[in-house]
Amino acid sequence: MPYPHIYFPLVTYAPVISAEKAYHQQLSVAEITTACSEPANQMVKCDPRHGKYMACCLLFRGDVVPKDVNAAIATIKTKHSIQFVDWCPTSFKVCINPQPPTVGPGGDLAKVQRAVCKLSNTTAIAEAWARLDHKFDLIIRCFRDNSGPKSSGASSIPNRSTLQPCGWKPPATDWIYYKANMAKADLVDDFEKKFTALKFPMPEHKYSAQVDAEETEDVKSCAEFLSLWKSRIQEYEKDLEVKDIITFDPDDH
């Protein structure tokens, strides 16, 4: 990993060709190096052209010499096909293994003379996590809308804290956190297990969501508690006319 303290590296491999094409197509070092910048050869679906690189490591195997590698990297820098952040001037790290790439028996990939694997840290990886967060939000929202207070397996439902490695949390300027203060201990345990990611449309931080102790005392069951928050969500959507949602982390306060 180019930077061990940076998580979620992007892995790219080239060439990815079938055995039929390998008979009449032998890619050069420059061609496979350029192919590593294409989204089609990535292991994660994202567009690196929409982000910037923090580090890049090229691992070559097979019939590769340093002269061809330096020429290929110089071509990439000249075309500005890869953009690096300002605080990382070193750009590329290179490793060359003279052994040719190996393929598994009966595999779809062809046996080639040379190959390259690019391991990089790029901000474009955020696209993949944004899609995952969106799917997670849909699952949690669907669970809250369709499950009752005694749904089986509800106590093991995940929350957003499982998607935050090493205690990382979004900046406070972009996300709003709150902690629901509840008077009844039985509702506290049930609520934190099932509904740990309540959502409200609150652009520009003009509103705040709180649960008063007086209101909580009037709640007789977890289902009634959820119904109360659903009504608040509808009121906010009607008032602000906003369909986007901001996720609240109840563990922050």
Where along the chain do its domains lie?
10-127, 147-247
The first and second tokens of residue 172, run together, are 């406070």
Q: Is cis: bond before 15, omega within 30 of 0?
A: yes
Which pLDDT does position 185 carry in this prediction?
A: 38
Q: Does residue 170 register a pLDDT over 50?
A: no
8-67 pLDDT, tens per residue?
888 999 888 887 776 677 788 998 998 888 888 888 888 888 888 888 889 999 999 999
SS3 content of the chain, % helix, strand, coil (to 5): 40, 15, 45
199-250 pLDDT, tens per residue?
433 333 333 344 444 444 444 445 565 666 666 656 655 654 444 444 444 4
Q: Does residue 116 register a pLDDT over 80?
A: yes
Its pTM surpasses 0.75: no
174-200 pLDDT, tens per residue?
333 333 333 333 444 444 455 444 443
Which pLDDT does position 253 carry in this prediction?
A: 41
Of 172 and 115, the structure prediction assigns the larger pLDDT to: 115
User: Between 2.30.40.10, 3.90.180.10, 3.40.720.10, 3.30.1330.20, what CATH number should domain 10-127 receive?
Assistant: 3.30.1330.20
Question: What is the C-alpha separation between 217 and 204, in angstroms, rounded?
Answer: 31
Question: What is the C-alpha separation between 99 and 95, in angstroms, rounded?
Answer: 12
The closest alpha carbon to 34, from 2, 3, 79, belongs to 79
